[in-house]
C-alpha cells in the first residue's frame, strides 16, 4: 500500500499547484504510516519480535485527535481547502513522548560515540533516565566566572511594596502589572549597558506591554532611559530587531523585551555591554492546557505507576521545564570568562 501511495504522491507533485499540495499530504501520510507500523518490519533486522516492537511503539507514542474549525484557505497540507468543504476538519497527531525511543534506535545503528553537551542538562539523573541509554562518562563543571562577577537577586515585592505575582490570573490586573512595570523600569535605569527582560510567553508579554502603554507611564519611563526593542514572532524580522538593539546599546543603552523559550533566549550571544542585566518576569511554565503538555505529564505518571521510579513525575517534569527555560534565558548575561552582569528574578514564588 505504501509503495502505491508513494508513487501517487510523486506523480501528483509534478502536476498543478493544488494537486502538488495533495501529493505532499499523501507523502506525510505515508511517513506517519511507516512509523506507526514499523513494528511489522522483518524480524531478522533486530533482536526483538514483531510483538515486542509493537509493544515498544505503543509504550512510547500516543495518538491525539482534535477538531479544527475551517478558517479559510491555507497552505498547510493537512487543512482542507476552503473550496472543497465548509466542514471543520480533524487533525490526527502521532506523538512520541519518550526521547529514549529515538536514542535507543540510534545506538542500535552502531553509533560508537555520543556526546551531549549543554548548560541546562542538570539534573543529569532524570535526563539520562529519559534517554534510556547508559552514559558511563558524565562531567559537570563549575561556571568559568568567579562569584563576584555575577549578582543574583529574587524580588518578591515591587517598588511600592506590592507583591510581585506574575501568574496567568494576574496578567490583566492593572495594579499588579503596573507595580511590576515600575520595578522593572527602575532596574533598567540603574543598570549599565543593555538590559534583557524575559516574559513567560508571547501572550503574556503582549498583555503586559498593553497595560504599560495604555494604563501607566512605564514604557515612557523606560524609553526615556533606554529605547525598547520587542522580540518579533516572525523569525525573518529578528535580525533587524537585534541590530536595532545593538545600536541602542552602543549609543547609550538599550532594552530588549523578549520571551523565555523564544528565539532571543536560546543561543544568541549578548556578551559584555550587550547584556549586563537579565530580568525574568514570572515563571515560564509550559502552557498547561496544551494537549502535548497534558499528555506528556500523563505519560510520565503512567510510567511511574508501572515501576519507572527513576523518571520524574508529570508535575516534577512540568516544574523542571520552567527551570530550564529560566536557565536558558539567564545564560545570555555571562558569555565568557571575563564577562559580568546581574540576574533579577521578579516573582514572589
Spatial distance between the Cα atoms of 184 and 242, rounded to a whole number of angstroms: 21
Name the architecture of domain 147-346: 3-Layer(aba) Sandwich (3.40)
Is the distance from CB of 225 to CB of 186 less than 8 angstroms?
A: no
Cell numbers that stand for 159 in this block: 517598588
The pLDDT assigned to 182 comes to 87
Secondary structure element (H or E) that encloses residue 199, with its range? strand 195-199
238 CB burial (10 A radius; 0-12, 13-18, 19+): middle
At CB < 8 A and 24+ separation, what contacts does 173-176 make?
174/211, 174/215, 174/216
The pLDDT assigned to 223 comes to 86
State the span(s) of the chain assigned CATH 3.40.50.300. 147-346
CB atoms within 10 A of CB 256: 28
Quote helix, strand, coil % in the chain, to nearest 5: 45, 15, 40
Residues 176/192/274/262 CA torsion (nearest 10 deg): -10
In terms of DSSP bridges, do strands 61-68 and 89-96 run parallel, antiparallel, or are they unpaired?
Answer: antiparallel
Is the distance from CB of 254 to CB of 194 less than 8 angstroms?
A: yes
Handedness of CA 97, 100, 103, 109 (dihedral sign): negative
Spatial distance between the Cα atoms of 330 and 344, rounded to a whole number of angstroms: 9
pTM of the predicted model over 0.85: no
Is the distance from CB of 136 to CB of 328 less than 8 angstroms?
A: no
Instruction: Profile the chain (349 residues) by mean pLDDT over runs of 10 residues.
Output: 54 55 65 64 56 77 80 46 57 86 85 85 83 87 88 88 83 85 89 92 91 83 88 90 93 92 85 91 91 94 86 91 90 88 89
Task: Please state, in angstroms and as integers, the Cα–Cα distance from residue 160 to each residue in 29, 81, 163, following that order.
Answer: 57, 54, 9
**What number of H helices and E strands is found in the chain?**
11, 8
Amino acid at each position: 500500500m505504501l509503495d502505491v501511495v508513494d508513487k501517487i504522491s510523486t506523480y501528483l507533485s509534478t502536476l498543478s499547484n493544488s494537486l502538488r499540495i495533495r501529493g505532499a499530504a499523501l507523502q506525510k501520510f505515508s511517513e506517519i504510516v511507516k512509523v506507526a507500523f514499523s513494528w511489522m518490519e522483518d524480524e531478522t533486522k533486530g533482536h526483538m519480535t514483531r510483538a515486542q516492537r509493537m509493544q515498544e511503539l505503543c509504550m512510547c507514542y500516543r495518538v491525539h485527535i482534535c477538531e479544527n474549525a475551517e478558517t479559510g484557505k491555507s497552505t498547510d497540507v493537512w487543512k482542507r481547502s476552503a473550496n472543497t468543504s465548509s466542514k471543520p476538519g480533524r487533525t490526527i497527531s502521532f506523538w512520541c513522548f519518550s526521547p529514549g525511543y529515538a536514542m535507543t534506535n540510534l545506538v542500535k545503528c552502531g553509533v560508537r560515540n555520543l556526546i551531549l553537551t549543554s548548560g541546562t542538562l542538570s539534573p543529569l539523573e532524570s535526563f539520562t533516565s529519559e534517554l534510556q541509554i547508559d552514559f558511563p562518562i558524565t562531567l559537570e563543571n563549575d561556571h568559568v566566572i568567579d562569584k563576584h562577577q555575577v549578582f543574583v537577586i529574587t524580588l518578591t515585592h515591587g517598588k511600592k511594596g506590592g507583591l510581585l505575582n506574575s501568574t496567568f490570573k494576574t496578567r490583566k490586573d492593572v495594579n499588579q502589572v503596573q507595580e511590576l512595570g515600575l520595578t522593572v523600569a527602575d532596574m533598567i535605569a540603574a543598570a549599565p549597558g543593555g538590559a534583557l527582560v524575559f516574559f513567560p510567553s508571547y501572550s503574556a508579554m503582549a498583555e503586559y506591554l498593553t497595560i504599560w502603554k495604555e494604563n501607566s507611564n512605564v514604557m515612557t519611563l523606560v524609553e526615556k532611559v533606554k529605547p525598547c526593542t520587542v522580540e518579533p514572532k516572525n523569525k525573518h524580522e529578528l535580525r533587524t530587531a537585534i541590530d536595532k538593539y545593538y545600536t541602542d546599546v552602543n549609543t547609550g543603552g538599550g532594552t530588549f523585551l523578549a520571551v523565555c523559550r523564544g528565539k532571543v533566549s536560546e543561543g544568541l550571544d549578548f556578551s559584555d555591554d550587550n547584556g549586563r542585566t537579565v530580568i525574568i518576569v514570572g515563571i515560564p511554565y509550559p502552557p498547561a492546557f496544551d494537549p502535548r503538555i497534558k499528555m506528556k505529564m500523563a505519560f510520565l505518571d503512567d510510567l511511574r505507576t508501572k515501576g519507572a521510579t527513576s523518571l520524574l513525575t508529570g508535575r516534577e517534569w512540568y516544574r523542571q521545564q520552567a527551570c530550564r527555560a529560566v536557565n536558558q534565558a539567564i545564560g545570555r548575561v555571562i558569555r565568557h570568562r571575563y564577562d559580568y552582569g546581574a540576574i533579577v528574578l521578579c516573582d514572589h514564588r
